[in-house]
Amino acid sequence: MAGLAHLEVSLHNHASEIPNAHAALDRFAARHGLSAPVVRAFHLALEEHLTNSISYGFTQGRAGTIQVRFTVEHPSVCVEVEDDADLFNPLTAPEADTSLPLEAKPLGGLGVLLIRKNMDQVEYRQANGHNLLVMRKRID
């Protein structure tokens, strides 16, 4: 995996843009020989985070942008999702109680849990008034 190991894609804050992030991940994964389990984990994490950001992060009707950056940082892959949505740290959301019976579970809340369970490291920070979620998974 010599050479520049980086790819960036810019999206509008519309659900119809999410497949563009998945296609970029597939291109990046093929270029760098990422294993199927690593790619599946990132697809799940991207789907959950982008869906939440687009659905809940932007004031109704407000146009926004989302930058997704893929980087190989041996021995891990890093995916950063930066958006100009309303500031919100998804990692402060209460963890979903998976012990509750289905009929007692509230709607939502599983996305962050799925991201945490599928990534080795997840961080959130604010950068220049934007949200930045950083997800890492070991590839060795």
pTM confidence score: 0.87
Higher pLDDT, 89 or 110: 89
Mean pLDDT of 88-115: 67
Q: Count up the domains in the chain and report the number.
A: 1
Residue 76 lies in a domain: yes
Give the whole-angstrom CA distance, residue 57 versus residue 67.
Answer: 14
| Structure confidence at residue 101 (pLDDT) | 56
Average pLDDT of the chain, as a whole number: 88
| Structure confidence at residue 110 (pLDDT) | 63
CATH of the domain at 60: 3.30.565.10
Residue 1 lies in a domain: no
What is the sign, positive or negative, of the torsion defined by CA atoms of 102, 103, 105, 110?
A: positive
Instruction: Give residue 52's domain range.
Output: 6-138
Mean pLDDT of 58-72: 94
CA angle 25, 126, 109 (to 5 degrees): 65
Q: What percent of the chain has pLDDT over 90?
A: 75
Burial 112-126 (b: 16+ CB within 10 A, else e): bebbbebbeebeeee
